[in-house]
Structure 1
Amino acid sequence: MSDLYSRTDLFSEFDRLQRQMAGLFGGFPSSIRSGNAGTFPQINIGATDDSIEIVAFAPGIDAAAIDLSIDKGLLTIAGERKPVRPHAGGDNRDDVRTYAQERFSGAFRRVIELPQNADPDKVQARYTNGCLSITVGKREASKPRAITVQ
């Protein structure tokens, strides 16, 4: 019998180990990507043949307060969301004490590594209804093209 595991045995061992670890820490996400609970803003990233599409969910922010930059293949989204204090009876009173707060407020910064085929000269961004939509064009050389066989 060989001391080496076959490929499927190794992966089944990793699955078993992951289940055991999840049981030890009960309730934590089993995926690295889903482990960003509380990260602000939350983002979705996708791609088309022509572009990389990024949507950052950032309600309650003034569009002018969002800083967006690209440097060395990294897209940075930064800004600040001001705190909102509860108020009684429609008045903005100082005597209202907060006893639970689930809404994030404060400075934030998200850095997203873009694929090598992203063109930093072809970036568009718009902020509508609390969603920052960013479109990063792809370089012409990286787009799929048909080749005629002779």
Structure 2
Amino acid sequence: MALPAVRTLSPTERWDPFREFETLFSQLGRYSREAAWTPAADVTETETDYVVELDVPGVQREDVTVDLNGTGLSITGELKERENKGAVRHSTRRTGKFSYRLSLPRNLDADKVEAKLADGVLTVTVAKKDVAKPRRIEVTG
């Protein structure tokens, strides 16, 4: 029966658990380049709108698709890899396809949706349906 090899550290070398995780995630990343990633997002609600803001730096307007199907908001796109002039020695930039999905409440107005891309942030604004506001009715007689 063979015993597993044990690697000992020299007195000048210290074990760094963070380096181990960095190496592991780097290796896993090579196998999942085709998997879609999810951008960071904030979803806020105002009196009149639902606002979704996604961080998508480097994404071009023509590489983003926003779909509203019923109450389901779907945002997909691609961050294309830049052409490098030299050999890449290390890269932690995200590239490839991304996807973000969200279910909104039913009181939305599907005809009033805007999407703007500025400074690396995609802002999708979905208007709420006009709801009858309370008001006082004068009694006449």
Q: Do both share a fold (TM > 0.5)?
A: yes
Is 1:148 paired with 2:139?
no
2-side partners of 1:55 and 1:73: how far apart? 17
Q: 1:98 aligns with which of 89, 93, 109?
A: 89
The one-character-per-residue Cα deviations of 1:72-120 (angstroms, maximum 9, x if unpaired) are: 21111101101246x5xxxx12xx1433x32211111111111111111
Aligned length: 103
SS in 2 for 1:56: strand
Q: Which amino acid aligns with 2:75?
A: I
Is 1:128 paired with 2:122?
no
**Per-residue deviation, 1:49:** 0.7
The one-character-per-residue Cα deviations of 1:4-48 (angstroms, maximum 9, x if unpaired) are: xxxxxxxxxxxxxxxxxxxxxxxxxxxxxxxxxxx5311101011
Alignment of 1:10-89 (within 5 A): 40-84=38-82
Q: Which amino acid aligns with 2:80?
A: K
SS in 2 for 1:64: helix
Select the structure of larger CA radius of gyration: 2
Q: Which has the higher helix share?
A: 1
1-side partners of 2:106 and 2:93: how far apart? 35
Q: 1:108 aligns with which of 84, 90, 98?
A: 98
Task: In structure 2, list runs of 5 or more residues that go unmatched.
Answer: 1-36
Q: Which amino acid aligns with 1:136?
A: V
Q: Which amino acid aligns with 1:40?
A: T
Identity of aligned residues (%): 25
**Per-residue deviation, 1:137:** 0.3
2-side partners of 1:46 and 1:62: how far apart? 24
Q: 2:128 aligns with which of 133, 138, 150?
A: 138
